[in-house]
Amino acid sequence: MRQSRNVVRLLAILLSLALVASACGDDDSDSSGSDTSGSDSSSSDSSDMDDSSDMDDSSDMDLSGEIFISGSSTVEPISLRVQELFNDIHPNVSIAVDGPGTGDGFALFCSGETDISDASRAIKDSEAEECAANGINYVELQVGIDGLGVMTNAANDAVECVSFADLYALTGPEATGTRSWADANAVSAELGGAGNLPDIPLDIFGPGEESGTFDTYVELVIEDPAEERGQDGTTRPDYSPSGDDNVILQGITGSDTSLGWVGFAFANNAQGVKLLDVDDGESGCVGATPSTIASGEYPLSRPLFIYVNSDAAAANPGLDAYVDYYMGEGLDRAVAEVGYVELTEAAKSEVRANWAG
């Protein structure tokens, strides 16, 4: 019996040890499972993060949509350069840019046909009212500075500088019918000009009424003396107008004693033309250069803008990203690359804040 009890006790001890071993084994298994699970979770999180990062990159690469830009032929080269740079990063965003003129551009923009309107002048009250009537909300963003380049043919050695009085007498309403530079001398002298323009044929090429360059020229050169003299505040009707700056330049290069005006960047980069100095009647003759335009010393300087349909930007990620890029590389790089004058850093910050809202 004692032996039997000893056997039973021994079996009980062995069974207990087995249970303990089993319990320990279960604990180790649970612990390992927990560790493995934690490791899997960490791996999964890391994988998810990688996937998320890939998705972000993919999202950038997959950015798509259509953008329609129209308006100023002067601002057009800036928007085109921004488009080229932007499409290097986002090739799937389709961007169409053309330059029929500031006025034509605003007509399209305010009827909802375009997303961005390039402009070489600020929007007029009548245009803003049309936008409002059609429910077009927009943000005005200045992108650079330009000067009007007053030019003649490179072969014309008889003229180097013209005054505001000369320009009014040559291109204003009282010049209608004149065919020689010298025909403007009487009116120029009455306005305080030297009255010594040469007796050579006069062929004039400039922007048409749809152009912001036309509006700026009229505002700076013609309106005030025309009002003083009881004349219509516009140019003479008998010259060769065009909304295409390249057509204007072709006209100027095709006539040895021509006169014309376009945006500075076009004039400065053109072959076969000569930029004339301009005298505002106070500072003497000043040449058009990036520095004189930026400082305002050159009397025919002006701001350049884009107008962005804010509702369209909110609904179109491609458009929103394009304007974001415009406010970065556009202001810092594209403006100068196409020959215009950059804004100051303070002005850039103000414009960027305006876009950020």
Instruction: Name the pLDDT band for 290 (thresholds 50, 70, 90).
Output: confident
Same domain, 176 and 243: yes
Predicted pLDDT at 280 = 83
Q: What is the pTM of this model?
A: 0.70
Please provide the DSSP assignment of 156-220 as one string: --S-SEEEHHHHHHHHSGGGTT--BGGGGHHHHHHTT------S-B-EEEEE-TT-HHHHHHIII
Q: How many residues does the chain have?
A: 357
CA distances from 335 to 19, 30, 149, 215, 339 (A): 82, 66, 17, 22, 7
Residue that finishes a domain, picked among 301, 321, 342: 301
Give residue 175's identity as a one-letter amino acid code: A
**290 lies in the same domain as 171:** yes
Same-domain pairing of 165 and 309: no
Nearest of 319, 350, 355 to residue 79 by alpha carbon: 319
Judgement on whether residues 282 and 325 belong to the same structural domain of the protein:
no
Average per-residue pLDDT for the chain: 86
Q: Closest Cα to residue 330, out of 313, 309, 305?
A: 305
Q: Residue 234, exposed/middle/buried by CB under 10 A (0-12, 13-18, 19+)?
A: middle
Which residues partner with 141 through β-bridges?
Answer: 306
State the total domains in the chain: 2
In a domain, 56, yes or no: no
pLDDT, tens digit, for every residue of 30-73? 333 333 333 333 333 433 333 333 333 434 557 999 999 999 98
Q: Which residues are within 8 A (CB) of 339 and not within 5 positions of it... i.e. 6 or more apart?
A: 77, 264, 265, 268, 269
Range of 283's domain? 146-301
Alpha carbons 83 and 338: distance in angstroms, whole number: 13
Residue ending a domain, among 301, 317, 345, is 301
Q: What is the pLDDT of residues 183-219, one digit of tens each?
A: 999 999 999 999 999 999 999 999 999 888 999 999 8
Domain final residue pick, 301, 317, 346? 301
